[in-house]
C-alpha cells in the first residue's frame, strides 16, 4: 500500500512540473494515509452489492472503514479509480473516463503545479502549497462536513469564510447521498444558540437542543463556543478519538473510538429521547423523555383538555399583575422558544426585577455566553405563552416562571408540598374560586351537606368544576382536610371523582373536583320520576358494578385500604355518558396497613 505523502513526494520531484497533470490519482488499493497513520482517504463502497464507489475518509485502524467524510456523496463512481485535480480554481474529482463527479471551490487562485493534497492527523484533507505548509489552506474537507463532526471541525458560522457549516444526513446507512435531515446551529432567538434539525419535507425545523453556555441540551459537552458566539468547534470527548454523527433518521450520536476493540462505540444518542425531534406540548407544557405520556403542565397550570399535546396548559389562577408575584425555578430545562428580549444583567436579582417590572413577562432565564475571551451574562425574558420546553436530568438551564399567585400562606405552602410533582393538581387562590363561582352565588349551588356547600364553577380557562366549600364548623377540620387532600390526590380510578385542586386561604377550606354533567344518583332515583325511568335495569346493574369497582379499588388501595363510610346515592355522581363515580372521601379513614378494624373517633351519619 502506498501512503500518499511519500507517493506524492516521489511524483512531485521526479515528474517535470510542466507535465504534472493531476494532484493525486487514487484507486482500489491506493489511498492517502496521514503522517501519523491515524486516518486514511480513498475509495470505499458502503454496500458490497452495487458498484457505487465514493471518495471518503476513515480511521486507518477501522476494519470496516466507517466513513467520516465523503466527497462525491451524490455522484458515485462505478469503479474505484479516480483522480483529484485542480481545474480553474476548483478542486475536482474525475473518474477513470475523465468525467467530473465532484468539485469544490478553492479559496484563492493557486499555482496548480505547486499544490499538494495532504491528509492531516486529525482527519482533515487539505490542499495547500507544498512550499509553505504553514500557510492557509486553499481548501480543506473540514469546511464541508458530510454527516459527521470530528474534533477540531467547526459547526455554525465559519468566521473565516462566513459560511454556515451544517451536517447533512446520509439517505440510508448504505447510501451516502444527501438524506432527509440537516443539523446546524442557529441564532434563532437573540442569543440562545440552538442546534436545529431540518427535514426537507417538513415545513418546520426542530429546535433540537439549546446552548446553555456549557453544553447543548443534555448532550455531552463536546461542542465549544469559539471566537464568535454562533461558531462552535468539536472537541475530543474523554480524551479519546470521537465523532458526532447525524443519522439517516435525524438522530445524533456521539461515538468514541475503542482502540482495544478497534471499533466505534456509541456513548450518547438521541434515539431514546421522544422529545428530541419535537418537544412541543402546547403552551406552558413541557416534554419529558422518560414518561408516558411525555407531556406535562408546568406547576400552577393544568391541561386545557384531555390531551396536552393539542391543547396545551392554562393557568389555574386568573392572571393578575402584582409586584410580589413569585417566580418558580425549573431546573435542567430546555428554554422556551421566541424570547422577547435579551439584556445584559450580571446579577440574578437584576434579571428577576427586569421581568417583574413588565406585567406581561412570564418567564426569565440567565444565560452565560462566551464571546472570544469574555464571559457575558445575559438575561432573557419571555412575554406571553411559553412553548417548546423539555426537562433533562443533566444539562439544560434554570427557567424562572412567573406564578400569578398571592403570597402563599403557611397552609398554602403546606398544600403546595402536598401537591408535589403532580402537575394535574393545583393549589388555587381564593379570588379565582370567587370568580369561578360568581362569589359563591346561590344559583350555582349543586348540593349541601354536613361538610359544606358544593357549587358549580367555571375556571378562567373555561373548565367546569365542582367547588366544595367546607363550612367553618363542619366536622371536617384541618385534619380531615389534609386527610382528604393527600388521600384523594393519589386516588385515580375511572369510577372515582377526581380532585383537581384545592384552596386554603384564611379560614377557607375549598376542594375543587371535576364536574359531572348528570349530577348525583339520588336525583335520578328520588327526585325526578321522569329521570328515574331512564334508569333501566341494565343501566342500574352497570352502575352498581361501577360502584363496586370503585369501592374495590379503594379497599385495595396500595398498602392502606380506604373505607368510604358514607356511601349513599347523593355521593354517586354521573358523567355525560352516565358513567358513575364515587365522590366525597371526606369521611374516609385510612386504615393502617394490617389493620382490619378501626375505631372511629367521630360519629358518621350514614
Ligand atoms: C482501477 O482500479 C483497479 C483496482 O485498483 C485496478 O485494478 C485497475 O487497473 C484500475 N483501472 C484503471 C483504468 O485505472
Ligand atoms: C489490493 O489488495 C489486495 C489485498 O490487500 C490484493 O489481494 C489485491 O491484489 C490488490 N489489488 C491491486 C490492484 O493491487
Ligand atoms: C462487504 O464485504 C466485507 C468483506 O466481504 C464485509 O466484511 C462487509 O460486512 C460487507 N459490507 C456490507 C455492507 O455488506
Ligand atoms: C433515498 O432513499 C429513498 C428510499 O430509500 C429512495 O427512494 C431515494 O431515491 C433515495 N435518494 C437518493 C438521492 O438516492
Ligand atoms: C401586555 O399585555 C396587554 C394585555 O394582554 C397588551 O395589551 C399589551 O400590549 C402587552 N404589552 C406588551 C409590551 O406586550
Ligand atoms: C420531567 O418531569 C416529569 C414530570 O414532572 C417527571 O416525571 C420526570 O421525571 C422529569 N424528567 C427528568 C429527566 O427530570
Ligand atoms: C362576595 O360576597 C361577600 C358577601 O357575601 C362580599 O362581602 C364580598 O365583597 C363579595 N366579593 C366579591 C369579589 O364580590
Ligand atoms: C368562616 O368563618 C370566617 C370568620 O370566622 C368567615 O369569614 C368565613 O366566611 C367563614 N367561612 C365559611 C365557609 O363559612
Ligand atoms: C355552625 O353552623 C351552624 C349552622 O349550620 C350554626 O348554627 C352554628 O352557630 C355554627 N357554629 C359555630 C361554632 O360557628
Ligand atoms: C347526561 O348529560 C348529558 C349532557 O349534559 C345529556 O345530554 C344527557 O341527556 C344526560 N343523561 C341523562 C340520562 O340525563
Tell me how far CA of residue 223 lies from CA of 141, 155, 237, 588, in angstroms.
Answer: 19, 8, 9, 57
Pairing of strands 389-391, 285-288: parallel
- In the predicted structure, residue 604 carries a pLDDT above the cut 80: no
Q: Using the atom order of ligand 1, give the atom closest to the CA of residue 80.
A: 2
Q: What is the mean pLDDT of the chain?
A: 80
Give 63-108 pLDDT, tens digit per residue.
999 999 999 999 999 999 999 999 888 999 999 899 999 999 998 8
Ligand 9: residues with CB < 6 A are 472-473
Give the distance (Å) from ligand 4 centre to CA of residue 178. Answer: 9
Angle at 366 between CA 333 and CA 267, to 5 degrees: 40
Give 125-184 pLDDT, tens digit per residue.
999 887 556 777 899 999 999 999 999 999 998 877 788 899 999 999 999 999 888 888
439 lines ligand 7 (CB under 6 A): yes
| Residue found under cell 399535546 | 309
- pLDDT at position 132, please? 57
Pairing of strands 252-258, 154-157: unpaired
Give 247-300 pLDDT, tens digit per residue.
998 898 999 999 999 999 999 999 888 888 888 899 999 999 988 889 998 887
- pLDDT at position 343, please? 75
Instruction: Categorize the per-residue pLDDT at 206 as very low, low, confident or very high, splitting at 50, 70 and 90.
Output: confident
Q: Which residues are catalytic?
A: 566
N residues, the chain = 606
Shortest-distance Cα residue to atom 4 of ligand 6:
296
Tell me if the pTM is above 0.75. no
Shortest-distance Cα residue to atom 3 of ligand 8:
507
- pLDDT at position 482, please? 63
577 lines ligand 8 (CB under 6 A): no
- In the predicted structure, residue 425 carries a pLDDT above the cut 70: no
Give the distance (Å) from ligand 8 centre to CA of residue 507. Answer: 6
Q: Which residues pair with 186 in a beta bridge?
A: 194
| Residue found under cell 369501592 | 551
Give the distance (Å) from ligand 2 centre to CA of residue 177. Answer: 27
- In the predicted structure, residue 33 carries a pLDDT above the cut 80: yes
Give 428-477 pLDDT, tens digit per residue.
788 889 999 999 999 999 988 656 799 999 987 788 999 988 876 544 45
- pLDDT at position 1, please? 40
Q: Where in the chain is the domain with CATH 2.90.10.10?
A: 1-144
- pLDDT at position 243, please? 96
Shortest-distance Cα residue to atom 6 of ligand 8:
507
- Percent of the chain at pLDDT above 70? 81
Distance CA 409, CA 218 (A): 37
521: Cβ contacts below 8 Å, ≥ 6 apart: 543, 569, 570, 572, 573, 574, 580
Nearest ligand, CA 440:
7
Query: Do 106 and 127 touch, CB atoms closer than 8 A?
Result: yes
Distance CA 441, CA 429 (A): 18
430 lines ligand 7 (CB under 6 A): no
Query: Which of 448, 450, 473 is the best mutation target for the ligand 9 pocket, counting ligand atoms within 8 Å of the beta carbon and taking the most?
Result: 473
1-144: CATH topology: Agglutinin, subunit A (2.90.10)
Q: Using the atom order of ligand 1, give the atom closest to the CA of residue 96.
A: 13
- pLDDT at position 596, please? 46
CATH code matching the domain that covers 412-479+502-514, chosen among 3.30.200.20, 2.40.50.180, 3.40.50.280, 3.20.140.10: 3.30.200.20
79 lines ligand 2 (CB under 6 A): no
Span 512-530, average pLDDT: 86
Q: Which residues pair with 563 in a beta bridge?
A: 589
- Does the annotation place 468 within a ligand binding site? yes
Q: Where in the chain is the domain with CATH 3.30.200.20?
A: 412-479+502-514
Give 554-595 pLDDT, tens digit per residue.
888 776 777 787 788 888 999 988 899 998 765 554 333 334
| 342 sits in which H/E element | strand 341-344
Other CB atoms within 10 A of residue 302 CB: 23
- In the predicted structure, residue 381 carries a pLDDT above the cut 50: yes
- pLDDT at position 70, please? 97
Record the cell numbers describing residue 506, joined without a space.
384564611
Amino acid at each position: 500500500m502506498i501512503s500518499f505523502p511519500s507517493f506524492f513526494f516521489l511524483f512531485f520531484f521526479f515528474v517535470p512540473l510542466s507535465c504534472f497533470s493531476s494532484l493525486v490519482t487514487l484507486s482500489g488499493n491506493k489511498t492517502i494515509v496521514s503522517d501519523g497513520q491515524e486516518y486514511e482517504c480513498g475509495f470505499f463502497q458502503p454496500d458490497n452489492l452495487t458498484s457505487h464507489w465514493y471518495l471518503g475518509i476513515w480511521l486507518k485502524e477501522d476494519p470496516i472503514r466507517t466513513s467520516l467524510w465523503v466527497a462525491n456523496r451524490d455522484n458515485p463512481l462505478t469503479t474505484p479509480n479516480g483522480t483529484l485535480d485542480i481545474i480553474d480554481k476548483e478542486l475536482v474529482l474525475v473518474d477513470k473516463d475523465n468525467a467530473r463527479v465532484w468539485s469544490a471551490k478553492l479559496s484563492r487562485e493557486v499555482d496548480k503545479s505547486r499544490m499538494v493534497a495532504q491528509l492531516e492527523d486529525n482527519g482533515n484533507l487539505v490542499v495547500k502549497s507544498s512550499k509553505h505548509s504553514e500557510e492557509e489552506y486553499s481548501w480543506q474537507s473540514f469546511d464541508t462536513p458530510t454527516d459527521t463532526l470530528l474534533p477540531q471541525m467547526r459547526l455554525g458560522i465559519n468566521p473565516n469564510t462566513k459560511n454556515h457549516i451544517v451536517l447533512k444526513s446520509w439517505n440510508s446507512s448504505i447510501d451516502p447521498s444527501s438524506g432527509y435531515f440537516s443539523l446546524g446551529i442557529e441564532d434563532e432567538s437573540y442569543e440562545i444558540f440552538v442546534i436545529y434539525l431540518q427535514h426537507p419535507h417538513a415545513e418546520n425545523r426542530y429546535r433540537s437542543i439549546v446552548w446553555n453556555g456549557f453544553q447543548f441540551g443534555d448532550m455531552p459537552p463536546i461542542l465549544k463556543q469559539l471566537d464568535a458566539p454562533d461558531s462552535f468547534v468539536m472537541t475530543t470527548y474523554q480524551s479519546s478519538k470521537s465523532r458526532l454523527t447525524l443519522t439517516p433518521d435525524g438522530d445524533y450520536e456521539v461515538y468514541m473510538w475503542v482502540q482495544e476493540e478497534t471499533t466505534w462505540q456509541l456513548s450518547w444518542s438521541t434515539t431514546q429521547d421522544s422529545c428530541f425531534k419535537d418537544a412541543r406540548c402546547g403552551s406552558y407544557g413541557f416534554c419529558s423523555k422518560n414518561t408516558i405520556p411525555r407531556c406535562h403542565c408546568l406547576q400552577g397550570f393544568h391541561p386545557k383538555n384531555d390531551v396536552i399535546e393539542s391543547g396545551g396548559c392554562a393557568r389555574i389562577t386568573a392572571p393578575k399583575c402584582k409586584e410580589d408575584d413569585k417566580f418558580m425555578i425549573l431546573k435542567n430545562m430546555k428554554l422556551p422558544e421566541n424570547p422577547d428580549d435579551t439584556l445584559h444583567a450580571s446579577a440574578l436579582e437584576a434579571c428577576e426585577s427586569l421581568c417583574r417590572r413588565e406585567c406581561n413577562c412570564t418567564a426569565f432565564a440567565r444565560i452565560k455566553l462566551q464571546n472570544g475571551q469574555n464571559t457575558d451574562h445575559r438575561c432573557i425574558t419571555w412575554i406571553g405563552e411559553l412553548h417548546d420546553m423539555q426537562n433533562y436530568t443533566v444539562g439544560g438551564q434554570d427557567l424562572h416562571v412567573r406564578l400569578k399567585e398571592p403570597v402563599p400562606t403557611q397552609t398554602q405552602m403546606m398544600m403546595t408540598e402536598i401537591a408535589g410533582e403532580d402537575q394535574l393538581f393545583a393549589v388555587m387562590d381564593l379570588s379565582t374560586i370567587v370568580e369561578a363561582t360568581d362569589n359563591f352565588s346561590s344559583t350555582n349551588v349543586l348540593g349541601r351537606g354536613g361538610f359544606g356547600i358544593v357549587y358549580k364553577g367555571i375556571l378562567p380557562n373555561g373548565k367546569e368544576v365542582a367547588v366544595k366549600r367546607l363550612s367553618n364548623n363542619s366536622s371536617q377540620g384541618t385534619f380531615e382536610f389534609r386527610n382528604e387532600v393527600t388521600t384523594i390526590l393519589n386516588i385515580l380510578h375511572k369510577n372515582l371523582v377526581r380532585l383537581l385542586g384545592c384552596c386554603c386561604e384564611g379560614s377557607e377550606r375549598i376542594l375543587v373536583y371535576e364536574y359531572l354533567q348528570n349530577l348525583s344518583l339520588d336525583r335520578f332515583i328520588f327526585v325526578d320520576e321522569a329521570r328515574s325511568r331512564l334508569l333501566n335495569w341494565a343501566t342500574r346493574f352497570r352502575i352498581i358494578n361501577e360502584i363496586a369497582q370503585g369501592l374495590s379499588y379503594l379497599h385495595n388501595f396500595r398498602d392502606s385500604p380506604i373505607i368510604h363510610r358514607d356511601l349513599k346515592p347523593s355521593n354517586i355522581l354521573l358523567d355525560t355518558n352516565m358513567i358513575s363515580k364515587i365522590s366525597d372521601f371526606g369521611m374516609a379513614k385510612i386504615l393502617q396497613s394490617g389493620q382490619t378494624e378501626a375505631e372511629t373517633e367521630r360519629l358518621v351519619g350514614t
